[in-house]
Amino acid sequence: MSLISVSDILGTNHAPNERDCDVIQKSLSEQEQLLEQVRVQKADLEQQLLVVTQRETQIVKSITDHRTLLRASPIRSLPAELLEEIFIAHCAESDRADPYYNSGVTFRKSRLRLLSVCSRWRDVALSTPRIWVALSVDCASYCIEGAESKISVLERWVSSSGQLPLSIAFLFSEYRN
């Protein structure tokens, strides 16, 4: 009797005899070895794909950075001295627009906004003492939670004013616990 081919009996109702089982077992072993080889190749390719994908991400970021530099807004090229003057004018205008300015009570948030635009603006603003010479302190708010963080803001504000004289307004409102 001739040996059968596994493909000949797949999908049939043929009951394999002992010799057929040997052929099927041998074919099964070969298929399992092939599967293992394919899985190893797949793992290698997945690792290569991961490396290539990471490299692609780096290149895309680099391209984006390059394009950002080419499309940089004109304000990025202004000298620090000119930015200082713009900041001083902006803060003065913001102070005049503040409804509490004439009463001596102003939170002067315009200065804090300058610090959050970008690192260059933060550096320029913190090194411009003229915008930090006026300060208002709501004393009641220092008696509640978070006073330590407010004190650190005050310390930074005062140190940023450099050697210039300070104008400090203290607001005493009724404190309610």
Burial (CB < 10 A; 0-12, 13-18, 19+), residue 124, is buried
CB atoms within 10 A of CB 143: 10
Q: With both helix axes pointing from N to C terminus, report the angle between 147-160 and 119-126 in degrees, rounded to the nearest 10.
A: 70
Closest CA to 157 of 123, 140, 138, 134: 134
Q: What is the pLDDT of residue 28?
A: 93
Q: Give, as one character, the DSSP assignment of residue 140.
A: G
Pairing of strands 167-171, 134-138: parallel
pLDDT in tens, 12-42: 888 888 888 888 899 999 999 999 999 999 9
- Give the torsion sign (CA, 111, 104, 98, 138): positive
State the pLDDT confidence band at 48, using cuts at 50, 70 and 90: very high
Q: Which residue shows structure tokens 């991961």?
A: 50
pTM above 0.75, yes or no: no
